[in-house]
Amino acid sequence: MNLCVIGTGYVGLVTGSCFAHKGHKVVCVDKDAEKIRVLNDGGMPIYEPGLEDIVKACRKDKRLRFVTDIAEGMKDAEVIFVCVDTPPTASGTADLSAIENVARQIARHLTRYVVVVEKSTVPVKTGDKVHKTILRHAPKGITCDVVSNPEFLREGSAMKDALNPDRVVLGVTSPKAAEVMKKLYADVTCPVLVTDIASAELIKHASNSFLATKISFINAVAVVCEMSGADIQLVAQGMGLDPRIGSKFLSAGLGYGGSCFPKDVAAFEQIARELGFDFSLLGEVQKINQEMRQRFLRKVEEELWIVKGKTLAVWGLAFKPDTDDIREAPAIELIQRLLEKGASVQAHDPQAMKKAQKVLPGLTCCDSAEEAAKGADALLLCTEWPVFRDFPLAKLKKLLKHPVVLDGRNLYDPVAMRAAGFDYRSVGRA
Ligand SMILES: NC(=O)c1ccc[n+]([C@@H]2O[C@H](COP(=O)([O-])OP(=O)(O)OC[C@H]3O[C@@H](n4cnc5c(N)ncnc54)[C@H](O)[C@@H]3O)[C@@H](O)[C@H]2O)c1
């Protein structure tokens, strides 16, 4: 099929390249001319394992193109995916101006029936508004259908998730659009759930909010573990053996970050409030998440007393391993606070240093984990990249000025750390 993807960010680029990889002809559009230039020059604006090879192969086979002009992008399209950003506003609601803008632009360039697919995460009822907006601005007599097809990919494993999803949700109102979408997803082996648009939109917000709740829950239990002398990893293991609970998303640490959970939980709480329901549980989820960052900073201060004038090594800047995304990453906020307090921070991250340097000009980025640790008063572990997990402890001890390690991801074994002579603190473990 001929597809157009509007918004060539983490979701749009992965969506476009995966559909092209499956044999469709895809044109990806973005208003960011620099991003499109980089892609057309054979470069990559983001890091995602496996993405570059697939983009290269699909461009070579002429199944994937990148343009800045929506009219050109949607010229032959039967299906248009909307993958633009929906960032949070100060009040927590999603800023839908990019969605509205794209809806009007699609309408202006419509020449025949198309299916417009919401992939961006949007509040319930947005699909109706997109549909109304397109019909209002489209040439007389030309119709379209709007489908909600929320994206569940996880950065770091986005290609795998997009090529082999665990479910496909299709919120549709017309049988014609349902047919088109089923054809597009005919090859998937996972369940395909067809719903109304509002339910599909809510599935996405409810899923992310539930996962974030699980993380905040285990982090709150970790605090109780610290206070009671229990071990969060044993507690989580015992809880996770219950199949009703499951072992996933029970890792205590610095809390969730990234471009989705923080904004989606805040937006879901706000959506509920606007509809007349006080979903205060989600307020608590966010509060606990923020508290985990503050508690970690307090631990740093407890260990070092005065951080002003000290040199701190930070391992990991991205909000999770295998991505260069630093949006809402705990490490970024932590470093900001430490710099404000007068510390020097030297950090290493395998992929996220370029983006971190842009938002933290005072940060010293180091080419290796070794260089970042050298001469530091303490090491703060913020992202559990394998390179940090595998770093030899004896070497680390020699590199640091003082053998102080604060582990925000429970990456190391406390017994091994103490045996190696470290002052070691982690989350929820005695
Ligand atoms: N990143 C994720 O892991 C993830 C997962 C699932 C869902 N989502 C949702 O998908 C949406 C996109 O997320 P993302 O991480 O890809 O964002 P992103 O910021 O990486 O990409 C969005 C892109 O849209 C472009 N854009 C904005 N307005 C445009 C316009 N009028 N015309 C053309 N291009 C335009 C931007 O320039 C940008 O390149 C969000 O709603 C997000 O919540 C993200």
Residue nearest to atom 19 of ligand 1 (CA): 85
The pair of structure tokens assigned to 142 is 């030309």
Tell me the CA–centroid distance for residue 63 and ligand 1, in Å: 22
- Supply the mean pLDDT for the chain: 97
Q: Tell me which of 30, 148, 203, 323 to substitute to probe ligand 1's pocket, judged by most ligand atoms within 8 Å of the beta carbon.
A: 30
**315-340: b (≥16 Cβ within 10 Å) or e:** bbbbbbbbbbbbbbbbbbbbbebbbe
Ligand 1 pocket test, pick from 85, 167, 355 with the greatest ligand atom count within 8 Å of Cβ, gives: 85
- 371-414, pLDDT tens digit by residue? 999 999 999 999 999 999 999 999 999 999 999 999 999 999 99
Q: Give the integer Cα–Cα distance in Å for 320 and 297.
A: 19
Q: Which atom of ligand 1 is nearest to the CA of 35?
A: 39
DSSP for residue 363: P
Which protein residues are within 6 Å of ligand 1, measured from CB?
6-12, 29-32, 35, 83-86, 98, 101-102, 120-121, 151, 153, 155, 259-260
Determine which residue's CA is closest to atom 28 belonging to ligand 1: 98
Q: Which residue has a Cα nearest atom 17 of ligand 1?
A: 85
Ligand 1: distance of its center to the CA of 82 in Å?
9
Q: pLDDT band for position 85 (50/70/90)? A: very high
pTM, full prediction:
0.95
Convert 138-164 to b/e letters by CB count within 10 Å (16 or more is b). beeeeebbbbbbbbbbebbbbbebbbe
What does the radius of gyration of the chain's CA atoms come to, in whole angstroms?
23
Q: State which ligand 1 atom lies nearest to the alpha carbon of 264.
A: 43
User: In the prediction, which pLDDT does 92 show?
Assistant: 86
SS3 content of the chain, % helix, strand, coil (to 5): 45, 15, 40
User: Where are the alpha helices (H) located in 74-146, listed in sequence order?
Assistant: 97-108, 126-137
Domains 2-193 and 196-430 share a fold: yes
Render pLDDT for 211-252 as a digit per residue (tens, 0 to 9).
999 999 999 999 999 999 999 999 999 999 999 999 999 999
Termini Cα distance of the chain: 57
* Predicted pLDDT at 98: 98
Residue whose CA is at the smallest distance from ligand 1 atom 15: 10
Q: How far is CA 2 from the centre of its chain?
A: 28
Q: With contact defined as beta carbons under 8 Å apart, do 193 and 169 qualify?
A: yes
Which tens digits make up the pLDDT trace of 136-181? Answer: 999 999 999 999 999 999 999 999 999 999 999 999 999 999 999 9
| Strand-strand pairing, 2-6 and 168-171 | unpaired
- Residue 331 scores a pLDDT above 80: yes
Domain segments of the chain as ranges: 2-193, 196-430
Three-state DSSP state, 34: helix
Q: Which residues are catalytic?
A: 260
In terms of Cα–Cα distance, which of 71, 55, 185 is closest to 119? Answer: 185
192-195, strands of its sheet edge to edge: 64-67, 25-29, 2-6, 79-82, 114-118, 144-148, 168-171, 192-195
Q: Measured between alpha carbons, how far is 337 from 49 in angstroms, rounded to an integer?
A: 31
CA dist 49 and 177 (Å) reads: 32
Arithmetic mean of pLDDT, 257-273: 95
Question: If you measure from the C-alpha of residue 92 to the centroid of ligand 1, how many angstroms do you get, rounded to a whole number?
Answer: 17
CATH architecture assigned to 2-193: 3-Layer(aba) Sandwich (3.40)
CA distances from 330 to 103, 224, 293, 369, 410 (A): 34, 21, 7, 18, 15
Closest ligand 1 atom to Cα of 259: 1
CA of 11 to the centre of ligand 1 (A): 6
Of the pLDDT bands very low, low, confident and very high (cuts 50, 70, 90), residue 16 is very high
| DSSP H/E element including 286 | helix 280-304
For residue 99, the CA-to-ligand 1 centroid distance in Å is 10
Closest-lying ligand 1 atom to the alpha carbon of residue 84 = 24
Atom of ligand 1 nearest to the CA of 98: 28
Compute the distance between CA of residue 344 and CA of residue 25 in angstroms, rounded to an integer: 50
Rounded Cα distance between 135 and 409, Å, is 49
The span from the CA of 408 to the CA of 317, in Å, is 12
Q: Quick one: which of 266, 357, 260 has its CA closest to 317?
A: 357
Average pLDDT estimate for 56-79? 98
Measured CA to CA, the distance from residue 34 to residue 29 in angstroms comes to 12
What dotted CATH number matches 196-430?
A: 3.40.50.720
What does the alpha-carbon distance between residue 410 and residue 252 come to, in Å, rounded to a whole number?
Answer: 7
CA–CA separation, 83 and 150 (whole Å): 10
pLDDT tier, 430 (very low <50, low <70, confident <90, very high otherwise): confident
Ligand 1 centre and the CA of 13: distance in Å? 9
Q: Ligand 1 center to residue 259 CA distance, Å?
A: 10
Gap between the Cα atoms of 158 and 164, Å rounded: 10
**Angle between the N-to-C axes of helices 197-228 and 261-275, in degrees from 0 to 180, rounded to the nearest 10:** 120
Beta bridge partners, 378, equal: 312
Q: Which atom of ligand 1 is nearest to the CA of 119?
A: 10
